[in-house]
Amino acid sequence: MFVRALGTDGAELRPLEPWRAEEFFAHMERGRDFIGQHIRFADAAKDLESARTLLQSYADKVAADTGAIFGIWLDGLLVGGVLVRTMDVPQGRAEIGCWLEPAAVGKGLVTRAARLLVDHVIRERGVHRVEWLVSSENAPSIAVARRLGMTKDGVLRSYSVHRGVRQDVEVWSVLAPEWES
């Protein structure tokens, strides 16, 4: 089984597979309001069956080489994660994202996990461009994009609707030559 330490604080990054649906759903229940402030991800796992379906959809993406999902565990408790939402290796593009429950905020977990993920998709999968799409209102996620050395490409004005409210979405990215230098 793949497990990567995220430092010396007991944090680990592991694949988040369908057999972990109960643990994933319990995590979503703990952090649903916080996680759901800016992303639809929390609403997609509204019960155990939908949590299992969500994780299975990412297992299918892994099998098709078009995405992946990883959990962040802190002292044995699932507290968040990072994902490759979409990946098109022939075109050299991937979009990554993250989420975290409130108890784990401020520990640098997402930044450390996202750094590993960017490094993997660029160095191991040969992706040229890694994107980070984020609501303009999601300051913590924008801060992660900055810490990763990403560049703000622009704003997609009034791009999506989240919980009945239309929102602007910022596009951040890093290119392989920038990452490798």
Backbone phi, psi, residue 102, to 5°:
-55, -35
Report d(CA 35, CA 38) in Å as an integer. 7
Instruction: Determine the topology of domain 4-180 in CATH.
Output: Aminopeptidase (3.40.630)
Task: Give the type of residue at 151.
Answer: T
pTM for this predicted structure: 0.94
Q: Tokens 């990412």 label which residue?
A: 58
pLDDT for the residue 61: 97
The pLDDT of residue 23 is: 97
Q: Is there a contact between 81 and 71 (Cβ–Cβ < 8 Å)?
A: yes
Assess whether pLDDT exceeds 70 at residue 1: no
Domain spans of the chain?
Answer: 4-180
Average pLDDT value for the chain: 95
Res 38: pLDDT? 87
* More confident site: 2 or 59: 59
| CA 96 – CA 145 distance, rounded (Å) | 10
Mean local confidence (pLDDT), 137-146: 96
- Band of the pLDDT at 163, cuts 50, 70, 90? confident
Contact 80, 104 (CB under 8 A): yes
pLDDT (tens digit per residue) in 81-95: 999 999 999 999 999
> What pLDDT was estimated at residue 34?
92
Contacts of 37 (CB under 8 A, 6+ apart): 138
The whole-number average pLDDT for the span 123-131 is: 97
pLDDT bin (cut points 50, 70, 90) of residue 56 is very high
SS3 call for 15: strand
Q: What is the pLDDT of residue 40?
A: 86
